[in-house]
């Protein structure tokens, strides 16, 4: 069986403010296009046009589209992690119902605030080129959430991590579905997502 070649890395690491700003503009343009026309249409040529740059400029920073979208996914990951950490600040250990509600609200707000995140996250779950980055995303947020389940000492560390991984993907998938539905159903679907998550956590975290 042939093995996929290792992913290409960014060509240039921006050190000067102007260079860093240009890189950000390219990534922001990619995010807008992902939201507007989807993954397949977000080519390097389209990104360059959206960013008002030449294709050559895009290639100065990223060797191909895959490297560019991995960088964008990494930026989303860092921002989402910060948002999740902020949402859990001050939450008492064992308050899993509050954790569940805040997790749904945080993911929903992030999906709405960051153009292209929903499209790129879904693509990372199915695309061979992005699967590694998507798996790393899921692992990080699962480990983050598993730490908040430390109160469930009757469960093994491995079991708590499995629960957290299920929660992470459940919230991501249902939130993504909710936000592409009719506007009048968004809040209702998010409410049902919280109910589903709370019911699951009550079943798996409570001692039997």
Between 53 and 123, the higher pLDDT residue: 53
- The confidence score (pLDDT) of residue 31 equals 95
Fold of 11-63: Arc Repressor Mutant, subunit A (1.10.10)
pLDDT digits over 41-75, tens only? 999 999 999 999 999 999 999 999 999 998 998 89
Q: How far apart are CA 96 and CA 145, in angstroms?
A: 10
Dig out the tokens for 4 from the structure: 């996929």
User: Is the fold of 11-63 the same as that of 72-205?
Assistant: no
CA atoms within 13 A of residue 152's CA, in its CB half-sphere? 24
- The confidence score (pLDDT) of residue 126 equals 82
Dig out the tokens for 49 from the structure: 């046009």
- The confidence score (pLDDT) of residue 15 equals 58
For residue 1, is pLDDT > 50? Answer: no
> By the 8 A CB rule, do 91 and 98 touch?
yes
> By the 8 A CB rule, do 29 and 54 touch?
no
pLDDT digits over 132-179, tens only? 888 888 888 888 888 888 888 899 999 999 999 999 989 988 888 888
- Sign for the CA dihedral angle at 147, 152, 153, 157 comes to negative
Q: How far apart are CA 185 and CA 46, in angstroms?
A: 33
Q: How far apart are CA 104 and CA 98, in angstroms?
A: 10
User: Which of the four pLDDT bands, split at 50, 70 and 90, describes residue 190?
Assistant: very high
Domain limits, the chain? 11-63, 72-205
> By the 8 A CB rule, do 57 and 22 touch?
yes
Options 3.90.15.10, 1.10.357.10, 3.40.50.720, 1.10.3720.10; CATH of 72-205 = 1.10.357.10
Between 32 and 1, the higher pLDDT residue: 32
Non-local (6+) Cβ contacts of 98 within 8 A are: 91, 92
pLDDT digits over 8-24, tens only? 655 555 557 888 899 99
Mean pLDDT within 10-39: 85
pLDDT digits over 71-114, tens only? 998 899 899 989 988 888 877 766 888 888 988 999 999 988 99
- Please name the residue ranges forming H helices in the chain: 17-37, 44-50, 55-61, 65-88, 96-113, 117-126, 131-146, 157-179, 183-205
Nearest by Cα to 72 from 147, 163, 133, 156: 133
- The confidence score (pLDDT) of residue 208 equals 67
């Amino acid at each position: 069986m042939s093995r996929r070649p290792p992913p290409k890395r960014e060509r240039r690491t921006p050190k000067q403010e102007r260079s860093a700003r240009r890189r950000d503009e390219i990534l922001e343009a990619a995010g807008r296009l992902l939201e507007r026309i989807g993954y397949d249409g977000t080519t390097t040529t389209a990104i360059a046009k959206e960013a008002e740059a030449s294709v050559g400029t895009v290639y100065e920073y990223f060797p191909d589209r895959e490297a560019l979208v991995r960088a964008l996914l990494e930026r989303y990951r860092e921002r989402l992690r910060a948002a999740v950490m902020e949402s859990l600040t001050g939450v008492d250990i064992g308050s899993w119902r509050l954790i569940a509600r805040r997790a749904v609200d945080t993911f929903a707000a992030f999906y709405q605030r960051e153009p292209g995140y929903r499209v790129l996250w879904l693509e990372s779950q199915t695309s061979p080129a992005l699967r590694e980055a998507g798996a790393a995303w899921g692992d990080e947020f699962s480990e983050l959430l598993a730490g908040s389940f430390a109160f469930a000492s009757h469960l093994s560390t491995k079991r708590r991590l499995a629960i957290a991984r299920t929660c992470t993907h459940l919230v991501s998938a249902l939130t993504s579905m909710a936000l592409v539905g009719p506007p009048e159903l968004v809040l209702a679907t998010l409410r049902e997502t919280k109910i589903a998550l709370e019911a699951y956590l009550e079943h798996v975290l409570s001692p039997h």
